[in-house]
Amino acid sequence: MKPDWAVRSKIFMSTPLVTHRAFLLVALLAGSAQWVPAAERWAPLFPADGMPTGWTVRAWNDVSKPGPTGALWRVEGGVLTGAAERGSWLMSEKEFSDFELEFDFKLGPTGNSGCALRAPMAGDPAFDGMELQMADYRYNTNAKPSELTGGIYRAIPPTKQVYKPTEWNHYHITLRGSHLAAVLNGEKVQEVDLSTQSPEVKRHNGAPAVPVKDRPRRGHIGFQNLSRGTEPVLIRNARLKVLE
């Protein structure tokens, strides 16, 4: 309900000066609080324990296919745990275009994960959308910089490597149009104009992928578990703010 300024002005005129000022401040704050745009509000991605609602488990190399049999992602105590069965994505059912996304993640010594950005619900998010990498260097000691944490997988290396092995790490990601920025543990590791990213990227089978500049500007977000060993990726404090 909008403020009834006629009523408030009558009250204002009948009260002492100090009270006037306090009343005016409270009125302005109350009025502004009612008009905060929804786009400026953060929403938690996994607000309740149990199986995540609004998400679907898909195969790691083609999200048009279901994930491995028995691959279950689950939230317990506010922490999302990747499926024990190796090789799956947890993909959002909704699509997003411009947004801010932040979350904490933790990997084991041979952990490998990723965050899908604007990915279609078909193909490999790493090559058909974008994948912001999350990987311990021990997973692949021959990995290129773009295949390590902070890189857009096989496409754009991070500006620096600030990943903390086997500890909680924090990502803050912003996508607005062709602008991508990513901050890892308080350090900016990506700030690029996607429309300028034309280098050829090879898929796992050696075939060329679509250049980053031509990839979708709208799609799904997701989290991958491709870790080896018994320690799947852990995610907590994940939240999203839609900017469009």
What's the structural domain count of the chain?
Answer: 2
- pLDDT for res 40: 66
More confident residue, 18 or 208: 208
CB–CB of 139/160 below 8 Å?
Answer: no
* pLDDT interval class at 159 (50, 70, 90): very high
Q: Is residue 18 domain-shared with residue 74, that is, in the same domain?
A: no
Mean pLDDT of 165-172: 98
Question: pTM of the full predicted structure?
Answer: 0.84
Q: Is residue 61 domain-shared with residue 27, that is, in the same domain?
A: no
Q: Is residue 20 domain-shared with residue 138, that is, in the same domain?
A: no
Q: Residue 39 above 70 pLDDT? A: no
Q: 181-239, pLDDT tens digit by residue?
A: 999 999 999 999 999 999 999 999 999 999 999 999 999 999 999 999 999 999 999 99
Closest CA to 149 of 194, 115, 126: 115
Q: Is residue 117 domain-shared with residue 4, that is, in the same domain?
A: no
More confident residue, 36 or 150: 150
Q: Is residue 29 domain-shared with residue 101, that is, in the same domain?
A: no
Q: Is residue 133 domain-shared with residue 31, that is, in the same domain?
A: no
- pLDDT for res 145: 97
On average, the pLDDT of the chain sits at 89
Positive/negative CA dihedral, 61, 219, 130, 87: negative
Q: What are the tokens at 58?
A: 């898909």
3-class secondary structure, 39? helix
Closest CA to 165 of 145, 148, 146, 143: 148
Which domain, by its residues, includes 17?
A: 1-35
Q: Is residue 4 domain-shared with residue 58, that is, in the same domain?
A: no
As a whole number of angstroms, the distance between CA 154 and CA 160 comes to 15
Mean pLDDT of 62-66: 98
- pLDDT for res 130: 98
Q: Is residue 168 domain-shared with residue 215, that is, in the same domain?
A: yes
Give the H or E element holding residue 134.
Answer: strand 130-135
Q: Is residue 20 domain-shared with residue 86, that is, in the same domain?
A: no
Closest CA to 216 of 149, 101, 119: 119
Q: Is residue 18 domain-shared with residue 139, that is, in the same domain?
A: no
Closest CA to 130 of 6, 67, 215: 215
The torsion angle over the Cα atoms of residues 92, 98, 100 and 101, rounded to 10 degrees, is: 20
- pLDDT for res 38: 57
Q: Is residue 15 domain-shared with residue 81, that is, in the same domain?
A: no
Q: 96-109, pLDDT tens digit by residue?
A: 999 999 999 999 99
* pLDDT interval class at 25 (50, 70, 90): very low
Q: What are the tokens at 197?
A: 């990213």
CATH number of the CATH domain containing 163: 2.60.120.560
Q: Is residue 118 domain-shared with residue 9, that is, in the same domain?
A: no
3-class secondary structure, 65? coil
